[in-house]
Amino acid sequence: MTIQRHEIGTRMSRAVVHNNTVYLCGQVAEDRHADITGQTQTMLAKVDSLLASVGSSREHMLSATIYLKDMALFSEMNEVWDNWVPEGYAPARACVQASMASPELLVEISVVAAVPVA
């Protein structure tokens, strides 16, 4: 049984791969002062980057949990999400309202994806 930890920090690893499955830590926006559209776009770009770094992609997502500061932002976030997820590859997903670690954050996502065997 092999466990690979990527970008290990004091509290967490940014990605952990086990049994051809990657678990991403919560991803937030690059620009914390952007609106929900901007925050969602840069957050999902970080997901793309992390998945690529372990040999996966959004087409291999198994599940996603999205945390919104306010459910009033749901439709605007979904507009970005719907354009980002390839047609026919929607993962299992949950979206909840949550208090954020930083007051300017509007959205955070946690992703689990398969890592294709080469």
- pLDDT per residue over 49-108, tens digit each? 999 999 999 999 999 999 999 999 999 999 999 999 999 999 999 999 999 999 999 999
How confident is the model at residue 51, as a pLDDT? 98
Q: Where are the domains of the chain?
A: 13-114
Give the CATH architecture of domain 13-114. 2-Layer Sandwich (3.30)
Cβ atoms of 49 and 42 within 8 Å: the answer is: no
Q: pTM for the complete prediction? A: 0.94
Contacts of 55 by beta carbon, 8 Å cutoff, 6+ apart = 115, 116, 118
How confident is the model at residue 118, as a pLDDT? 72
How confident is the model at residue 117, as a pLDDT? 87
Please write the tens of the pLDDT for every residue from 58-72. Answer: 999 999 999 999 999
